A = this chain, B = another copy of it.
């Protein structure tokens, strides 16, 4: 089959795989059934793989209806002519089957899987099998390297002339927004630090979600280069620039089970560093009972893999393993975290000191790793940049360059209009704070999609509290979300008093 159709833009967005609509009778004549996948091809060798829906009155014979996902992402006009072709299963499904059956893959096989995921040739189900396959047998070091390389190769890359430093947190600790403090500290010292971050996978906010409260983070590669030229830094969402695009698709199918195996995490982080041309990297790898990594032993194993894979790419990596038993900072959720970050950068009197301290520590380590200063001197230099407000000045420049409001004061950050305070049911000492429970409550409150939703903690581990004392406040943007958050807060022991 090879057929030409006139485009009709449909005003429907599915939020998922691209969908095209064909006239029912016409599809039948062509041997195409609803749910089949086809290749939609148009000028300049551009194409997408789409699922077919059929309809009798939405499109005419000779017409193909396009869901918003297709015509918003690609430059297709109504009346444009596109070609529709049968889609045959790509060879890469054989490689996925091989891995599912427990066999090792070579670089060609891995490259074919990753590129076919990136281009949409493999759909959600095939990608899910690929993700699941990594549980059959752990990746060898070679496989880790191959997947990381393929991920970086199958997307856009940033090629700066200078040597680039970076800092990355593996996530899992609510409120841990050190990146937004470390980046301006480092950049204020003249070291290039172009930072791409992710949106939340299963947590209430990723760095990209939080930064978005202050400035746009979905910038084009061109615009990013401009921001870097102006400020020596940037803080953008990696997903917007088609960098290691397979990663975001993989993240999407990992969501339903909240699966994030360590190997996948290493790949996901390093692929983007390779694409950004990073040379020196400090990784923040917190561990603790309710963190992503539970023990120091596991943390060390992961650190070893990070360093080993990094070496294959000539990236010098230092992994900082800090114990974490509670959130960093007081706010959890995009807006609440952005307020904390601004408080630290603006040296506000009510700034969260734990967040400041950790940021200085990590910035210091990065300075030392790069050889910017002798060992033991990094923290002092980093702290000075905060105190002198040089880091805040740099942050303002970055916010402005990315198109945000650089005059914002910490206490001007808008929070959810609805809030609800939770109080201690008895007096005693706080013996545990459950990071996972906090995240579950925040997600139910609507974070990260609803930027103003989240939790503000009024207490910390070890505090003595009296019965009836305020423990934390829920913020939400609408009643139904506040109710869901409250149910989650009541079903989970967020704060344990003894």
Contacts and interface: CB of A to CB of B under 8 A. Distances in A.
Interface of A: 1-2, 10-16, 19, 21, 24, 29-31, 33-36, 51-58, 67, 86, 89, 93, 96-97, 100-102, 123-126, 128-129, 132-133, 135-136, 253, 256-259, 446, 449-450, 477-478, 480-481, 484
Contacts of A125: 124-125, 128, 253, 256
B29 A86 contact: no
Contacts of A101: 135
Contacts of A450: 31
A205 to B, nearest CB: 16
A288 B52 CA distance: 37
A135 B98 CA distance: 11
A12 B10 CA distance: 12
A11 B58 contact: yes
12 contacts: A12-B55, A12-B58, A13-B24, A15-B51, A31-B478, A31-B480, A86-B480, A93-B258, A100-B259, A123-B256, A124-B124, A126-B257
A13 B23 CA distance: 11
Copies assembled: 2
Nearest to A89: B256
Contacts of A10: 55
A102 to B, nearest CB: 7
The 5 tightest CB contacts between A and B, nearest first, are A15-B35, A15-B34, A132-B132, A1-B480, A128-B128
Contacts of A29: 478
A135 B55 contact: no
Most chain B beta-carbon neighbours within 10 Å: one of A12, A19, A96: A12
A93 B15 contact: no
A33 B449 CA distance: 9
A258 B129 CA distance: 12
Contacts of A93: 256-258
Contacts of A14: 19, 34-35, 51, 53
A100 B16 contact: no
Contact of A31 (B1, B16, B21, B481): B481
A257 B97 contact: yes
Nearest to A255: B125
A51 B11 contact: no
Contacts of A52: 15
A129 B255 CA distance: 12
